[in-house]
Homo-oligomer: A and B are copies of this chain.
């Protein structure tokens, strides 16, 4: 089985996860979550969003969180930014990377930010130019890469065209995102096979949801194409706004457990992660979907790799 020897995990729980949890979370708990993820060796954390507090009030404490985080050497802190104003706030807060989002589906993009995809790409290019001169990396999440709840199938050629346009405009990493969990391993394989023709592997990431329980099979398909960057959220924080009883993000502990089982290095201390996961479940006050936090490690040696 031909898979990468090492994977970079980006925990999106503090932003993507908590934004989709109904429980309001205290700033101090968010700071603790980020600090514990970093202390466990998670190399990249999506910390918060610099979106207007009018739209997403639960992310209003972005600056406060960034100011309070203990930043270990080498850790990369990410802030989501919706526009140039958000970018300026993120830069001031000291992010290592900004993450932008464009939907591959025109309908979803319109409903999400009331912009066309073309407008989204132009805004992305403007921020990428600014970020290049500021020495800040830019990532782009391409939402609905494997399907849209409004439009259904999305043409893979269109997704790759958008990815290439973003890369050409200065985006460093494109994260293909299965926003509502519609992907299956065959379509993951096909899209990434196409992506690799024009985009270097180390600039490709995947963001899978477990909404229909194929999230980890999709990770395996992506590993098979050499992809070595994955988003996930501790404990599977986040849910799915389109299916209230279903899950969203794949859980970080489950992802790391599977990778360690396969002998793939992550640098993450899984035992420490499980403690943070148990604490997080008590913070949100309901059962979260990750499984390793409930079943424990299959083998003790999987705690480290």
Which A residues have a C-beta under 8 Å from some C-beta of B? 1, 3, 147, 152-153, 180-187, 189-190, 210-217, 219-221, 224, 240, 242-243, 245-247, 250-251, 254, 257-258, 261-263, 287, 290-292, 294-296, 298-299
Whose C-beta in chain B lies nearest to the C-beta of A216?
A: B217
Given contacts A152-B299, A184-B262, A211-B295, could you give 11 more A-B pairs where the C-beta distance is less than 8 Å?
A: A1-B185, A182-B299, A184-B258, A187-B261, A212-B298, A214-B216, A217-B219, A217-B258, A243-B296, A245-B287, A246-B295
**Residue of A183, A212, A247, A287 ringed by the most chain B CB atoms within 10 A:** A212
CB distance from A94 to the nearest CB of B (A): 34
A257 touches B299 (CB 8 A): no
B186 touches A1 (CB 8 A): yes
A-B contact pairs, 22 of them (CB 8 A): A3-B186, A147-B299, A153-B299, A180-B298, A181-B298, A184-B257, A185-B258, A210-B213, A212-B254, A212-B258, A212-B292, A212-B298, A213-B290, A213-B292, A214-B216, A214-B258, A214-B261, A216-B217, A217-B220, A243-B294, A245-B294, A245-B295
B186 touches A291 (CB 8 A): no
What residues of B have a CB within 8 angstroms of the CB of A263 in the complex?
186
Also in contact, A295 and B240, with CB within 8 A (given A261-B214, A262-B185): yes
Whose C-beta in chain B lies nearest to the C-beta of A178?
A: B298
For the complex, would chain A's binding face be called helix, strand, loop or mixed by DSSP majority? loop
User: Shortest 7 CB-CB distances between A and B: which pairs?
Assistant: A184-B261, A182-B298, A246-B295, A213-B254, A245-B294, A243-B295, A186-B262
**Complex Cα distance A184/B243, Å?**
28
**Complex Cα distance A268/B240, Å?**
27
**Complex Cα distance A292/B258, Å?**
22
CB distance from A20 to the nearest CB of B (A): 14
